[in-house]
Structure 1
Amino acid sequence: MTRKDSAHGPGASSAPAAPDEGVAHVGAALDYVTDAVILLAYDWKIEFVNVAFERASGRSREAVLGRDFWATLPGVMGARFDVEARAAMQSRTAHIYEEFNARMGKWFECRSFPCEHGLVVLFIDITTRKADELTRVDLEEKLMRIQRMESLGTLAGGVAHDFNNILAAILGHAGMMLDELPATSPLRGHMQQIKRAGDRARDIVQRILAYARGSSHELAQHRLRPLVEDSIGLLRSTLPATVRLTVDLHDDSVATVDPAEVQQVVMNLCTNAWQAMPGGHGQLTIALREVQFDVPHAFTIGRVAPTRYAELSVRDDGHGMGEDVIQRLFEPFFSTKPRGQGTGLGLHIVNGIVHAHGGAIDVQSRPGMGTLFAIYLPVTAGEGAPLDTAALTKVAEPGEGEHVVYVDDDPIVLLMVEALLKKAGYDVRTYAEPTECLGDVEQGRAPMQLLITDFNMPGMNGLELALAVRAALPRVPVIITTGYIGDELTDAADRMGGVAVLQKERSFEELVELTALALRGFPESRFLDTGLSPL
């Protein structure tokens, strides 16, 4: 049986569509395109628009076809379109550009192509793409800000090392002068002022370090009032003179907290508060009180249980916020400040800290009515454990000529500590170079019952020197002084055993006492009496 080809089969030829029919097919197809399309004749008559253009312009096809574009749709796609479209029509070259349409709140990529009939213009909605690009750029900028913040911590550590050397020398010499001056000397008042100024500088450096570098999340029982007072002390040096500060700290509750993180919460909230004041003028109030909740309660962030909480509040009379802003306040990188003036991380960090402490955050604000942040931290019945310096002083018995080696590359501090320890009755040998000290130890030229060394030194740091000395003298006790006590150093000292770490700028107040403890093998009972911990 022979198969006959069908008239509609693959091999059949079909007659071309009529011109009007072809145009109709193209127009119908363009109505399915989601981007707006318009065809303009040489005389600017509108010959075709698709459905997407009708939606974008808000004008029906019947209302615009055959009409003059400039009279019918003036400024419909923005001022730049008018310029680019005329240029494309006149030059007979394609023009492609991007423009934001404020009426629609969208970004469009406009493509004007000259054709046989005039000009075809395609409007592609690129709003999502532009948002992604802006988000990427914004995230890159914020990442750079975070990296700069981390660099600030590193820089603060380096500056603190040099500055603490200076402070240690100032405080040490001032203390020794006060010990030598008779009670009736007119110089005592001047020396006391020098010491007070040095103490203040020391506190500021430590606060900056705690804020810039942070600390590991080590929780312990602390009284909240001294921690808040300490934060306010740092705040006063940064607060504009036009801000009136009111402090109302009635509560003396004890909570299980990380002191550095409590300080960070106070600083972040207070900084945001005064920056929200018009022109930096306004009232800032910091309060601390204890509250009792009888039933569970939900706040802006977190919930509280039926128990006692410490309420730390920061109130300002600044611009205030609407509910839409409050809902996003604690998102990472969200900021109401102008670009370049905020990282958007401050409140996100506050949220993380409060959550880690089992607390909650309440925010009350209205535009033009100021803002109140309230932080709730669960309190404990225990007592904080401040350092008992009086107990520490009890162990400072006069030295009996014990051999102490002190190593520090700073000659000013070296002379001060040498004088301090000699005055306390010790036989002191000093070195400015750790390698020179190690060579004498290995050759038996440096009798040593105790090694005291600075941590930050070129070539070999104090921990490396202590390890090398221990190879020759395995049981020698060690004291390492440093401007900033970090977790890595304390962990390494703990692993070595028989090693204590001392903040360098406290050398005058504590080094003699700590030396006495070290030469007695760091007796555990003595450490517990003073509130210190054996390393």
Structure 2
Amino acid sequence: MSKKVQSSGAGAHPALADGVAQVGAALDYASDAVILLRRDWTIAYINVAFERGCGQSREALLGRGYWAAFPHLRGTRFETEAQAAMTAGLARIYEEFSPRANRWYECRAYPCDTGLLILFIDVTMRKSDELTRVDLEEKLVRAQRMESLGTLAGGVAHDFNNILAAILGHAGMMLDALPADSPLCEHMRQIKRAGDRAREIVQRILAYARGGTNELSKHQLRPLVEDSIALLRSTLPATVRLTVDLSGDGCIATVNPSEVQQVVLNLCTNAWQAMVGGHGHLHVALRAVQFDVPHAFAIGRVAPTRYAELSVRDDGQGMPEEVVKRLFEPFFTTKPRGQGTGLGLHIVNGIVHAHGGAIDLQSVPGKGTLFSIYLPIVDEAASLDPAALVKVADPGDGEHLVYVDDDPIVLMMVEALLRKAGYDLRTYADPRACLDDIEAGRVTVQLLITDFSMPGMNGMELATAVRATLPRVPVIITTGYISDELTSEADRLGDVAVLQKERSFEELVELAARALRGFPETRFLDSGLAPL
């Protein structure tokens, strides 16, 4: 049977007391914090590392009650684990984050004759490495799981955009042609509204498939959030009380402005839709925060630096844990059939992470939800000269354009659109027939506009072949899906613009005017925006 070690009181053996003193002196050289507690929870001993960590002297702490000296530990795992070790007489080893110290600790609580010895080992760097590894593993798993879905989404979106281009284009031209008092106008507006909604859904699918490749630049976040709130107020039910606290004047981040506004509108819309009967309180806030150690959130992690914290809080129904775990998956929705695509929060998640940020999600069933978006803060915002955004599109004046598209419905719509704008247009459904006429000199070409995805020869191949005959002709390629490869090829060929096909009615005429003027870059470079 092992013998118990006597305490170092007045009756202790001198050699033993000397040994205890030497152990205490040695512990002062340890880098880990050590505290010895008596059974009544008074402090019997602390080493130098503990003094440094808590910011209090040994003389001020010895003999004091542990919980009186450190009341902030009450109700945390630091208390429950220590109580369990003292009561059961069994060692407890656990890890916990200390908000006050801003550090992660591995805590080892050992019961002893005196009471309880607790060792605090700083494992902040190790936790950071673990978070990085876990984050990379999760990203790899998600990438592998979603790769095939992304390919499918891109293909579906490309085909659907051809249909949308025709629907929106013909609806727009009908609205322009009909008298203002025609009963058909409202029907055409409803068709256009439905088309716009479909286009928004397709853009979400494309954003998912594309993985976020938009150009980013420095912007003040507060004006972007204010603009989003202004748009939100027009759609927010009167039964929802909206409060806003935008104190983040110094929140400058490298972002895509439209995507930031998409995040705000999406989160706010989800928030008020989660309120029972559409009644509740919605609060939006923006502020700058500083993280000194890595923090893990619901999805991803953030490194130690300054962040802009955009928070959206509601007092709606809240969500159970099993829903929270799946909330950012594509096509997952808790809304009734036909009322949600399940893409909104997935796109929000993709946008935030593409901007180097993270999301913290807290939700309690019956009490509401808090989304906190964290975006890294940068030093200064890029200057943006609104006067540089001068519209350069003028009506056509008989310029010779060639348009190529194998889809007859889209071909008819674009032909009517460009002829109405004043251009002399020649159309082709077969790219090879177009190329033959150009090579033979049977057609005059000042601007080539071509669809990208066509059988036998795609739009980029046609543009390259035409440039062999007409090396200076500008080109516009329309496509339902703008890939990185297509953008790179367009840059390599030069004087080539790529246009989302479903935006043909709104943008093609203006883009054609710019192309005929050699794509004047001053429209973009003076404003800080990227040229096409």
Taking the aligned partners of 2:402 and 2:217, their CA distance within structure 1 comes to: 35
Task: Name the residue aligned to 2:412.
Answer: 415
Taking the aligned partners of 1:192 and 1:163, their CA distance within structure 2 comes to: 20
SS of the residue corresponding to residue 193 of structure 1 reads helix
2:403–2:426 contact (8 Å) kept in structure 1:
yes
Task: Name the residue aligned to 2:208.
Answer: 211
Using the TM superposition, name which of 508-517 and 377-386 deviates more. Answer: 377-386
Select which of 499, 503, 508 maps to 1:506.
503
Task: Name the residue aligned to 2:127.
Answer: none
Distance 1:475 1:350, change over 3 A: closer
Select which of 481, 486, 501 maps to 1:484.
481
Task: Name the residue aligned to 2:450.
Answer: 453
Task: Name the residue aligned to 2:309.
Answer: 310
Task: Name the residue aligned to 1:225.
Answer: 225
Taking the aligned partners of 1:285 and 1:212, their CA distance within structure 2 comes to: 35
1:388–1:531 contact (8 Å) kept in structure 2:
no
Does residue 181 of structure 1 match 2:178?
Answer: yes
SS of the residue corresponding to residue 374 of structure 1 reads strand
Distance 1:213 1:289, change over 3 A: same
**Any residues of structure 2 matched to 1:99-138 within 5 Å, and which?**
none
Distance 1:294 1:504, change over 3 A: closer
* 1:21-56 CA-partner distances (Å, limit 9, x unpaired): xxxxxxxxxxxxxxxxxxxxxxxxxxxxxxxxxxxx
Taking the aligned partners of 1:351 and 1:364, their CA distance within structure 2 comes to: 15
* 1:231-285 CA-partner distances (Å, limit 9, x unpaired): 999xx9xxxxxxx9997665496531357986998899999999xx9xx999998
Distance 1:476 1:226, change over 3 A: farther
Residue 473 (structure 1) shift: 0.7
Amino acid of the structure 1 residue aligned with 2:225: R
Taking the aligned partners of 1:285 and 1:514, their CA distance within structure 2 comes to: 44
Between the two proteins, the alignment pairs up a number of residues equal to 367
Taking the aligned partners of 2:405 and 2:505, their CA distance within structure 1 comes to: 15
TM-score, normalised on structure 1? 0.55
Residue 485 (structure 1) shift: 1.6
* 1:285-309 CA-partner distances (Å, limit 9, x unpaired): 8754222448857644546656x72
Task: Name the residue aligned to 2:373.
Answer: 375
Taking the aligned partners of 1:199 and 1:424, their CA distance within structure 2 comes to: 23
Amino acid of the structure 1 residue aligned with 2:478: T
Taking the aligned partners of 2:394 and 2:347, their CA distance within structure 1 comes to: 47
**Any residues of structure 2 matched to 1:306-455 within 5 Å, and which?**
309-313=308-312, 318=318, 357=355, 359=357, 362=360, 372-379=370-377, 382=381, 391-392=390-391, 395-455=392-452
Q: Percent identity?
A: 64
Using the TM superposition, name which of 523-532 and 182-191 deviates more. Answer: 523-532
Residue 527 (structure 1) shift: 4.2
Amino acid of the structure 2 residue aligned with 1:309: A
Amino acid of the structure 2 residue aligned with 1:391: V
Taking the aligned partners of 1:530 and 1:317, their CA distance within structure 2 comes to: 44
Taking the aligned partners of 1:272 and 1:187, their CA distance within structure 2 comes to: 34
Residue 181 (structure 1) shift: 2.6
* 1:396-425 CA-partner distances (Å, limit 9, x unpaired): 222221110000010011011111111111
Task: Name the residue aligned to 2:151.
Answer: 154
TM-score, normalised on structure 2? 0.55
Taking the aligned partners of 2:227 and 2:449, their CA distance within structure 1 comes to: 31
Structure 1 gap segments, 5+ residues each = 1-141, 237-243, 334-345
Structural RMSD (CA):
5.2
Does residue 290 of structure 1 match 2:286?
Answer: yes
Taking the aligned partners of 2:387 and 2:201, their CA distance within structure 1 comes to: 22
Distance 1:426 1:147, change over 3 A: same
1:310–1:379 contact (8 Å) kept in structure 2:
no
Distance 1:208 1:254, change over 3 A: farther
Distance 1:385 1:172, change over 3 A: farther
Taking the aligned partners of 1:358 and 1:472, their CA distance within structure 2 comes to: 45
Taking the aligned partners of 1:486 and 1:226, their CA distance within structure 2 comes to: 32
Amino acid of the structure 1 residue aligned with 2:464: L
